[in-house]
Structure 1
């Protein structure tokens, strides 16, 4: 199951995604966590100190390794240099799985112990001095998109991605990579505006979207969200002393999280699990190809000097059991 947390900057999506990851770990299901936000805070929210979080390897820095591994012996891909963020897998490509080991995880993932379970954590990495003024953040997030395009996951396996804020998620096709998108919205006009914009953009692509109200302080806040969001509102979350202590570096056992907030996370888990019934691997692959062809035509053919439409394997559908991972 691939799950995204999106929302306005400052809405609390990183906090809620970290709580959901902790909940899944406590539920004893395999979890991979990915920090794809320009503000890299997920590691700290999962209990790492600042130095440990800063030492996380940047996926963007390992893009050549990622491309070389995923390419495998796919005859449609002439070289790793011609792979772009949207390159779809085909016959001969190497696929990723939530569990197991491979060179990509060796280079990019680090284990985090949560509730007695080991969670894999990967991060796109922050801007570096060489990026300032010359690069956009989506060049780094491209490593995440490429991995998601090659990832085969099942119902009891979770990939949770803390996405970049607001509508920036639509700068690539990555917004279509998820079984469920949780949009974190504060009970404010700005929070609701981000929801409306996201829903409008996502509508034509069948993106499952549910709203998680955050920082809901009173019945009027809840009534406001219900009036503005309607049936898309899944649950509302209020103040948490546990979260406030965690943000100060004083994390206690997750079981001591307030009961209403634990119940909210259970609702998120149930909604994510139910979305599995709507999973359509053929549509998933078709959308992957759609965005690849758009990128190829708009910029990538010129940049690589190749016709990247030729990378599409028309007979290939990514699916559980589509192919076993190949050795490096």
Structure 2
């Protein structure tokens, strides 16, 4: 299952991405954490301190990624012809989660219990000439070609706010958790995300964070309603961990909230045809808007009308 954590900047979505990934890993479940935020802090949230994260960013090898994923697909002539939205088809190389392939071997390293892949930071060479979504295209290609099986999890820490809707990446998930603080600013992003997600049938569940009492919880219930799945209380353990000196264990209520997140994810049905429909729709939209002109090709021809990703496509 693919899970995204979104929310206002500072809401705690990176912290919750890390907590959820670690809880999954410690239960024995196969899990991959993926840092898709412009502020690349997921490694630190997972517990990395002074040692560098050694795996190269996914976006730094975008051309190689395209060459590998297009495989022998006759609809994609070259890496230059492959857009970030190009959906898989017959002949494409599909990935198994944490498989023994060059993508996972090159780009994944463990931070504590959790395998981690990073998109890459927005650096000085990008200033004034590109946006962060050019890097997130590598994540979109990765998820488009990933066949995750039952009991497997990909947890993505996404960009802050409604900026996640600047590409089709938001349709790549089985469930999106929107992290909201009990403030007017905290729930304003929820309303933006809810309205955009409903347009495309994307399931969203709200996770309250930094709740300090009954008034905070009542505020979230009034503002969010039935979309509120659960909430986490203010955590001294998280604060101590963020200071580099974790003391004790995560509070029982917060551990229970993380269990509820997993229950909600596991209850979602896997809809491979919907994934492909969304991938094709956004590919055609991008082709018409800019990609046809950029490549000089008719990228609609890359769509394999009879192809559906999923376990059956692996054979």
Aligned to 1:46: 46
The alpha carbon displacement at 1:252 in A equals 5.6
Residue aligning to 1:203: 198
Q: Where do 1:244-263 residues align within 5 Å?
A: 244-251=239-246, 256-263=249-256
* Cα distance between partner residues in 1 of 2:165 and 2:303: 22
Q: Does 1:214 align with 2:209?
A: yes
1:176 paired residue number: 171
Q: Is the 8 A contact 2:2 2:155 kept in 1?
A: yes
3-state SS in 2 of match to 1:89: coil
Q: Secondary structure at the match of 1:86?
A: coil
Residue in 2 that maps onto 1:294: 285
- Secondary structure (helix, strand or coil) at the match of 2:311 reads coil
> Matched residues in 1 for 2:266 and 2:9: separation?
27
CA drift of 1:201 comes to 0.4
> Any conservation in 2 of the 1:242–1:251 contact (CA below 8 Å)?
yes
Tell me the number of residue pairs that the alignment of Structure 1 and Structure 2 aligns. 315
SS at match of 2:47: coil
Match of 1:3 in 2: 3
* Candidates 210, 235, 241, aligned match of 1:240: 235
Contact residue 88 and residue 289 of structure 1 kept, 8 A? yes
Alignment partners' CA distance in 2, 1:164 and 1:98: 22
Asked whether the 8 Å contact 1:95–1:323 carries over to 2, the reply is yes
Distance 2:72 2:166 in 1: 30
Task: Give, in whole Å, the separation in 2 of the partners of 1:192 and 1:155.
Answer: 32
Instruction: Provide the TM-score with structure 2 as the length reference.
Output: 0.97
The residue that corresponds to 2:300 in the other structure is 309
- Find the aligned partners of 1:71 and 1:50 in 2 and give their Cα distance: 37
Give the secondary-structure state (helix, strand or coil) at the position aligned to 1:4.
strand
1:95 corresponds to: 94
CA–CA distance in structure 2, aligned partners of residues 66 and 188 of structure 1: 41
The offset of 1:49, in angstroms, is 1.8
- In structure 2, distance between residues paired with 1:62 and 1:37: 18
Change (3 A) 1:50 1:131: farther
Matches of 2:199 and 2:95 in 1, distance apart?
28
The structure-2 alpha-carbon separation of the partners of 1:18 and 1:295, relative to structure 1 and needing over 3 Å to count, comes to same
- CA shift at 1:319, angstroms? 1.4
- What whole-Å deviation, never above 9, does each CA across 1:169-221 have from its counterpart, x for those lacking one? 00001101100100000111111110010000010211111000011111111
- 1:56 CA drift (Å): 4.1
What secondary structure sits across from 2:206 in the alignment? Answer: strand
Report the Cα distance in structure 2 between the residues aligned to 1:305 and 1:105, rounded to whole angstroms: 32
In 2: Cα distance, 1:209 partner to 1:50 partner: 35
Unpaired runs of 5+ residues, structure 1, are none
Instruction: Give, in angstroms, the shift of residue 251 of structure 1.
Output: 3.3
**More displaced, 225-234 or 102-111?**
102-111
Deviation by residue 1:245-270 (Cα, 9 ceiling, x = unmatched) = 110112367xx211111100000000
In the aligned structure 2, how far is the partner of 1:155 from the partner of 1:208? 19
CA distance in 2, matches of 1:158, 1:176: 16
1-side partners of 2:282 and 2:204: how far apart? 20
Secondary structure at the counterpart of residue 214 of structure 1: strand
Q: Does residue 1:66 correspond to 2:65, yes or no?
A: yes
> Partners of 1:66 and 1:95 in 2: how far apart?
12
CA contact (8 A) 2:55 2:106 kept: no
Q: CA deviation at 1:51?
A: 4.2
Aligned to 1:31: 31
Q: Deviations over 1:47-79 (max 9, x none)?
A: 1124424x4421111101100000000001111
